Amino acid sequence: MTSIKNLLFFLFLTLGTLSIKAQDYQNIDTAFANKERENIPGETMGQKLESLLFWSQEEKERRFPIMQDIFPSIQISTGSQSAPFEKTKEITPQWEDKTTLTSYMNDNHVKGVIVLQDNKIRLEEYADGIDQETLWTSFSVAKSISSMLLGVALKEGAIEDLDDVLQKYIPELKGYDYGQVTVRQLLTMTSGIDWNEDYEDPNSDVAQMYKAPCENTESHILTYMKPLKFVHKPGTHWNYSTGETDLVGILIQKATGKTLAEYLSEKIWKPWGMEHCAYWLADECSNLNMGGSGLSASLRDYARLGTLMLNKGKLGDKNLLAEEWLDNATSLLYVTNDQGGGYGYLWWRFNDGSYAAVGIFGQMLYIDPHKNLVIAQMAAWPRASSKNLTEGRHAFIDAVQRVID
């Protein structure tokens, strides 16, 4: 949803007046998004999408809520009823220094935070112009959601075995190194294939992967990744790669015959009672969703995904997720930092047993099963990531934990 400020700004520029008769606001939103698209550098949609790593602060804050209108996307339909949230005693996060929730959100360009405990809202706060209906892009939080969908596909038999090689499901990879990578290695980012994920280097793989012209209807990511080569023995070396999680998305879509948006709607969004329709960006060449990013949803619905994880995918008497996936998805399979934290199946795992889905520019879905706690955050950090920004996010989690029973 576009904020009122943005709507008025756009109308002022294009109509020269703020005296506006009743209009179709959807058309106004479309016109605003079209104008934004025109102003993004790049000839193709892939090139325009890559440019987001280098948008100004104003551009990020203006565009992150309307990504689904700017770029090709597929709707994730919700059902006729949503699962309600009850509000209970509100908490006030307590930092060890003079930081307050207001200063944390202002200083870090955080646009919304929500804290659930026992499926009840303990805290919900939004920045000006943002509310419960605002959709916000999630970046790499989508990786963890793609992993969940793979857990569903494994449960249903669309994916037969995590040790199957990728070429079994993605025939375009036959004859290439990636064809011999297993599903499990893809889920843990241990393919052994070279990849550079530097968000501030315009020549890195992550900044180049969508830039080439379409080759017929093959996804950008397949075209880019097919020729990449092993530099380590598969399964022995962890290396963070958005490209590989886009391949997870391709894998799920090839195996199920459904887009990620369709599959997410059918298996989670509708049965789990999500409140708002969401959207998932689609590759301009293939119209398949991008597994590594591009999911836009409301803050409360991100939090509902956290409750699904807390409940281990159990809805009534039905188990949504494969046991093998549940056993390892949020486990510490690979240590990735000096603090003892690491990675599972596209989920970050902390050494206290909590785990999270995180995205560049400050997105977060944090889950602490010991306290039945879910924290979700949407943001537009001034940088994709940094040590200080990441530490600030962890300090917010600590400030919440400090006042949670």
pLDDT at 24: 38
Please say if the pLDDT value at position 141 is more than 80. yes
The pLDDT value given to residue 315:
87
- 45 and 118 share a domain? no
Residue 32 counted as domain residue: yes
The answer to whether residue 214 is domain-embedded is yes
Average pLDDT, the chain: 92
pLDDT tens figures, 187-243: 999 999 999 999 999 999 999 999 999 999 999 999 999 999 999 999 999 999 999
Q: What's the CA gap between 246 and 65, in Å, rounded?
A: 22
What's the confidence (pLDDT) of residue 339? 80
pLDDT value at 19 more than 60 = no
Residue 174's nearest CA partner among 138, 222, 221, 211 is 222
Among 312, 266, 366, 272, which residue's Cα sits nearest to residue 84?
272
- What pLDDT is recorded for position 215? 95
84 within some domain: no
Amino acid type, 210: Y
Instruction: Give the single-character DSSP code of 98.
Output: S
**CA-to-CA dists, residue 118 to 40, 161, 251, 317, 330, angstroms:** 43, 34, 34, 20, 20
Res 3 pLDDT > 60: no
pLDDT score at 28: 55
CB atoms within 10 A of CB 153: 25
pLDDT value of position 4: 42
Same domain, 20 and 135: no
Asked if 235 and 183 touch (Cβ cutoff 8 Å), the reply is no
Question: Smallest Cα–Cα separation from 399: which of 128, 137, 91?
Answer: 91
Measured between alpha carbons, how far apart are the two ends of the chain, in Å? Answer: 35
Same domain, 251 and 188: yes
Looking at the domain assignment, is residue 226 inside a domain?
yes
Summarised one tens digit per residue, pLDDT across range 363-382 is 999 999 999 999 999 999 99
Do 141 and 261 lie in one domain? The reply is yes
Residues spanned by the domain of 43: 4-70
Q: Of the residues 42, 70, 98, which one is the last residue of a structural domain?
A: 70
Together in a domain, 189 and 276: yes
Which range, of 27-41, 171-185, 284-298, averages the lowest pLDDT? 27-41
* CA–CA separation, 79 and 77 (whole Å): 7
Shared-domain flag, residues 231 and 344: yes
Q: Take residue 369 and report the two structure tokens written for it.
A: 């099963």
Of the residues 22, 42, 70, the one at which a domain ends: 70
Percent of the residues in the chain that have a pLDDT greater than 90, as a whole number: 89
Residue 368 lies in a domain: yes
Answer yes or no: do 184 and 262 share one domain: yes
Where does a domain end: 70, 102, 125? Answer: 70
pLDDT on residue 27: 54
Residue 29: name the closest of 57, 55, 58, 67 by CA.
67
State the total domains in the chain.
Answer: 2
Give the rounded percent of residues in the chain with a pLDDT score beyond 70. 93
Is residue 143 scored above 60 in pLDDT? yes
Closest-CA residue to 381 (of 39, 137, 99, 197)? 137
pLDDT-derived band at 138, boundaries 50, 70, 90: very high
The average pLDDT across 118-141 equals: 97
The pLDDT, as a whole number, for residue 6 is 42
pLDDT at residue 11 tops 60: no
pLDDT score for 69: 96
- pLDDT at 109 > cutoff 50: yes
Angle between helical axes of 4-15 and 25-39 (0-180°, round to 10): 80
Taking a C-beta distance cutoff of 8 angstroms, is the pair 166, 366 a contact?
Answer: no
Confidence of residue 14 (pLDDT cuts 50, 70, 90): very low
pLDDT for the residue numbered 16: 34
Over residues 247-280, the pLDDT tens digits come to: 999 999 999 999 999 999 999 999 999 999 999 9
Asked if 345 and 233 sit in the same domain, the reply is: yes
Is residue 298 a contact partner of residue 341, using CB atoms and an 8 Å limit? no
**Does 334 lie in the same domain as 196?**
yes
Give the per-residue pLDDT at 316: 86
User: Tens digits of per-residue pLDDT, 57-90?
Assistant: 999 999 999 999 999 999 999 999 888 899 999 9
Contact 247, 225 (CB under 8 A): yes
Please name every residue paired with 379 in a beta bridge, in sequence order, or none if there are none: 110
DSSP annotation of 48: H
What does the pLDDT look like over 310-338, one tens digit per residue? 999 998 889 999 999 999 999 999 999 88
47 shares a domain with 142: no
**Is pLDDT of 15 > 70?**
no
Asked if residue 182 and residue 50 are part of one domain, the reply reads no
52 or 338, which is more confident: 52
Whether 275 and 342 share a structural domain:
yes
pLDDT at 189: 97
89 belongs to a structural domain: no
Tell me if 101 is assigned to some domain. Answer: no
- Identify the pLDDT of residue 98: 95
